[in-house]
Amino acid sequence: MPLLSLPQQTFFLYSQKTLSKFTKALLFLFSKMSTNSNSFQNYPTPLSPPLPSISKDIELARAMTASSKSSVFGLSRSDILYDDEWLIAVNKPQGIYCDSLLASVPRILADPADSDRLSEGNQASPYELHLANRLDRDTSGVMVITKSHKVAAVLVKAFTNHKVQKTYVAFCIGSAPQSERITIKSGHGRSKFGAWRVYAAGDVGRKLPGGSIVRDMETTFEILSINGKRSYKEPSEPMKDEENTIIVEEKAVIDVDAKKDEIFVRAFPRSGRTHQIRLHCQYLGIPIRGDVKYEGVYEWKGRTYDAHELHAESLSFQHPITGFPVLIQAPLPLWASQVLQLVTD
């Protein structure tokens, strides 16, 4: 009997010790899993809706059309808004990709005698061309291209540090705001599905799926006309009006059954986030006409719109070499000119 009981007793004591270590290991693993689970659940929640299902096919068709147009696109002298030995500014058309526009710059900068050889690819451009700013495929307006690495570094830094003032105009459809001037501040980032979304201002700095973080974005809107009423104004530095500042912390409440107005706005983006103006217009309930990605109407008053109506109107900055102030303005596109023809005081 003692010979039999001793191994059983020894085995019991050994198992208890092993189980104790195993239990501690399990508790450690569960705590790590719990921490990871909590951090996943604590990712910021986007406050703007996901992309509408209708946008997928429409955007694909638009992209294919733009690729065809961009492949044969060439700048003309009339597209040049500003030119000196350090940089050139051009008026980008709607439906053209930025990189295609950049590729067409060397030929327009070349001497007439060299232009044919450049077009055939037989001569390298003497310039180190860089896009100082980018515009969405369907956004028209001012684009600045620098002619050397040195100038590019200075001007890109100016954009990053918000030293460049920008104005845009857009035609929106929605319930007209009560205020003539609105400043909206929010977060900006990519959702787990890869789409750009509005986040709460309080979420700025928080981590998103994939490792990026929520960044701040701020836009001031000036209402230029509602249903053809009020007068157009020249671009100006927006006045700060705390009473009309919206700090985004929750989802917008949009009355989908409310009367839809035609609203012509000017936007002053302080930050330069991707799709910033389009996202903020969507949040305010006045999405840009034709902007199907952000709930803009695709059809309006019997007409179908093949692109969104957003135009980069002006850029002003300190010249990266001379230090002199530079203001570059692009002529308004046809859709904006037509709006202004109907505006009354």
- Give the integer Cα–Cα distance in Å for 140 and 309: 8
Instruction: Give me the residues of the chain with pLDDT under 50, please.
Output: 1-15, 19, 30, 32-40, 114-115, 117-118, 241-242
Q: How much is the pLDDT for 39?
A: 44
Which residues are the active-site residues? 136
Q: How much is the pLDDT for 220?
A: 97
Q: How much is the pLDDT for 21?
A: 57
106 residue type, one letter? P
Q: How much is the pLDDT for 3?
A: 45
Q: In the chain, which segments carry CATH 3.30.70?
A: 66-161
- Give the integer Cα–Cα distance in Å for 81 and 329: 7
95, 136 Cβ separation under 8 angstroms: no
| 163-194 per-position pLDDT tens digit | 999 999 999 999 999 899 999 999 999 987 78
- Give the integer Cα–Cα distance in Å for 91 and 2: 99
Q: Residue 26, class by beta-carbon neighbours within 10 Å (0-12 exposed, 13-18 middle, 19+ buried)? A: exposed
Query: Tokens representing 233?
Result: 């104004």
| Highest CATH level, class, for 66-161 | alpha beta
- Give the integer Cα–Cα distance in Å for 290 and 144: 26
